[in-house]
C-alpha cells in the first residue's frame, strides 16, 4: 500500500491468512513465514509434530551459539468470529483513517509475530549481531489449549536442540500508558461432576434426587466464587485478577421432560487457581464437598493444569534485569501481573524455563477474542522499536 510502512503491510498480509479455528489455514501461514525468512536471509525449519501439526522456527545465530538462546514465541491460530458483529470483514485487515487495523488476530497475537520479525530485520540491517542466538517459534493450536502444539513441541528433541534459556510469549493490551508484563499463570481446572439420583414422577417428593446433589455441589463452589470475588473487589485494586481463584459454572446437563425427575445431572465448572493456592489441599477440599453432596457423586478433570512456577522478577536475575531495565531506560511504565487465563508459557515454565508474557500494546482496549478486535498502526510500530531494544538486551545477556 502506497505510503504505508512495509512492516504494517506485512502485518496486514499475515492477518488476511485465515488461520481461524477449527480449520486454520496453516499452509498459508507457513508459506508466508517462509517468505519472511527468505527476505531476512535466515535459516528456518518446519518441524512436524507427532500430532500432525507443524511448528515454524526461524533462527538468527549469535556470536556465541553455545550459550543458551532466547526464544520469541507466538501462535499462528486465531479464534472464531461472529461475522454479524464485526464492522468490517474480520479477515480483510481494513485500516481506518486514524490507523486502527481491524482483524481477528490483530491483538491475539499476529501483531507480536510480525513485530519479532520486523525488529530482527531492523537489527540485521543495522549490522548488529548479538551474543546469543535468537529463535522465533510460530506454533499451532494455542487457541484450543496448545495440547497439539506447544505441549508436544517442548518434549520434542528438536526443541531441546534449540538450547533455550529464556522465552518471550504473548501478553495483553493495556488501556493506559503502561505495559502489562506477565510472570506466571493460574492453573486451569475444568471439572465434570456427575450427580446421579433416584428418578420418578414430577408430582412426588422423591428422596435422594440428582437435583439435590447437584444443588449441594453448586452451592459449595459458588460460595467459594463469592468469597474470592469479595476478596478481589474489597482490596481496592491491591489484587489483580490473576491473584485470586475464579470459579464459574459453565454448563448443566440432565433431564428428559418437565414431569420426570431425572436420574442424573452433570455440572461443568471452569476453575482458575491462583499460583499461591495449595493444589493438593484444594483437590482434597473438592473431594470432601462432593462426598458431602452424595457418596455416588463423581468427578473427572477435562483439564488439570499443575504449573505454579513463577518467572523471577528480581533484579538479581539476569534475564529479568535485562528485560525490566530496558523498559525503564526507555522511560516506559510497566505493571507485573499473573496472567488470568492461559497461554503456551505454562508449558515452557513446566519444563523449568523462565518465560515472560508481553505484548507491547498500551493505550489500547483489551479485545482478544472480542468482536471488532483492532490495533492501531502507531502502537504496532512503536512495539517494533520496543522489541528492537528488548531483543538486543536479552540477546546480549552475558554468560552466567
Of 22-26, 97-101, 329-333, 338-342, the one with minimum mean pLDDT is: 338-342
Which of the residues are catalytic? 77, 142
In this predicted model, what pLDDT tens digit does every residue of 210-225 receive, in sequence order? 999 999 999 999 999 9
Alpha-carbon distances of 350 from 49, 189, 344, rounded to whole Å:
19, 16, 10
Residues in the chain: 400
Predicted pLDDT of residue 204: 96
Name all domains of the chain by residue range, CATH numbers in brackets: 6-185+310-395 (3.40.630.10), 187-274+276-304 (3.30.70.360)
Q: Please, are residues 78 and 71 in contact by the beta-carbon 8 Å criterion?
A: no
Q: pLDDT (tens digit, 9 = 90+) per residue, 100-110?
A: 999 999 999 99
Q: How confident is the model at residue 1 (pLDDT cuts 50, 70, 90)?
A: low
Please report which confidence band the pLDDT of residue 193 belongs to, taking 50, 70 and 90 as the band edges.
Answer: very high
Task: Give this prediction's pTM.
Answer: 0.92
Task: Find, among 1, 12, 3, the residue nearest to 380 by Cα.
Answer: 12
Q: Which of 308, 286, 297 is nearest to 223 (CA)?
A: 286
* Exposure string over 79-100, b if 16+ CB within 10 A, otherwise e: bebeeeebeeebbebbbeeeeb
In 10 A of CB 131, how many CB atoms?
A: 17
Amino acid at each position: 500500500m502506497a505510503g504505508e510502512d512495509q512492516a504494517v503491510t506485512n502485518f496486514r498480509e499475515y492477518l488476511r491468512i485465515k488461520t481461524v479455528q477449527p480449520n486454520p489455514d496453516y499452509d498459508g501461514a507457513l508459506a508466508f513465514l517462509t517468505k519472511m525468512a527468505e527476505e531476512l536471509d535466515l535459516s528456518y525449519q518446519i518441524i512436524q509434530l507427532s500430532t500432525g501439526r507443524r511448528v515454524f522456527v526461524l533462527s538468527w545465530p549469535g556470536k556465541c551459539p553455545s550459550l543458551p538462546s532466547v526464544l520469541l514465541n507466538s501462535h499462528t491460530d486465531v479464534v472464531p468470529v461472529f461475522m454479524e458483529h464485526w464492522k468490517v470483514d474480520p479477515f480483510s485487515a481494513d485500516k481506518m483513517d486514524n490507523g486502527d487495523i481491524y482483524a481477528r488476530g490483530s491483538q491475539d497475537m499476529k501483531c507480536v509475530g510480525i513485530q519479532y520479525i520486523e525488529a530482527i530485520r531492523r537489527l540485521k540491517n543495522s549490522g548488529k549481531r548479538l551474543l546469543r542466538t535468537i529463535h522465533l517459534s510460530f506454533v499451532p493450536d494455542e487457541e484450543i489449549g496448545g495440547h497439539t502444539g506447544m505441549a508436544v513441541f517442548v518434549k520434542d528433541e528438536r526443541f531441546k536442540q534449540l538450547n533455550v534459556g529464556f522465552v518471550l510469549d504473548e501478553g495483553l493490551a493495556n488501556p493506559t500508558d503502561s505495559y502489562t508484563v506477565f510472570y506466571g499463570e493460574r492453573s486451569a481446572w475444568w471439572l465434570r461432576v456427575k450427580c446421579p439420583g433416584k428418578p420418578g414422577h414430577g408430582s412426588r417428593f422423591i428422596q435422594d434426587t440428582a437435583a439435590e446433589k447437584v444443588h449441594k455441589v453448586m452451592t459449595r463452589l459458588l460460595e467459594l466464587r463469592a468469597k474470592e470475588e469479595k476478596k478481589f473487589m474489597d482490596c481496592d485494586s491491591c489484587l489483580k485478577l490473576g491473584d485470586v481463584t475464579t470459579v464459574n459454572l459453565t454448563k448443566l446437563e440432565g433431564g428428559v421432560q418437565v414431569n420426570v425427575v431425572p436420574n442424573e445431572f452433570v455440572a461443568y465448572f471452569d476453575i482458575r487457581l491462583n499460583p499461591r493456592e495449595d493444589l493438593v489441599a484444594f483437590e482434597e477440599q473438592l473431594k470432601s464437598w462432593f462426598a458431602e453432596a452424595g457418596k455416588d457423586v463423581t468427578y473427572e478433570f477435562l483439564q488439570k493444569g499443575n504449573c505454579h512456577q513463577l518467572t523471577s522478577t528480581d533484579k538479581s536475575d539476569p534475564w529479568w534485569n535485562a528485560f525490566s531495565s530496558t523498559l525503564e531506560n526507555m522511560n516506559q511504565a510497566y505493571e507485573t501481573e499473573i496472567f488470568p487465563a492461559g497461554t503456551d508459557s505454562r508449558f515452557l515454565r513446566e519444563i523449568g524455563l523462565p518465560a515472560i508474557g508481553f505484548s507491547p500494546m498500551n493505550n489500547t482496549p483489551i479485545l482478544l477474542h472480542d468482536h471488532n478486535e483492532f490495533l492501531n498502526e502507531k502502537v504496532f510500530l512503536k512495539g517494533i522499536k520496543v522489541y528492537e531494544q528488548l531483543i538486543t538486551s536479552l540477546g546480549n545477556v552475558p554468560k552466567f
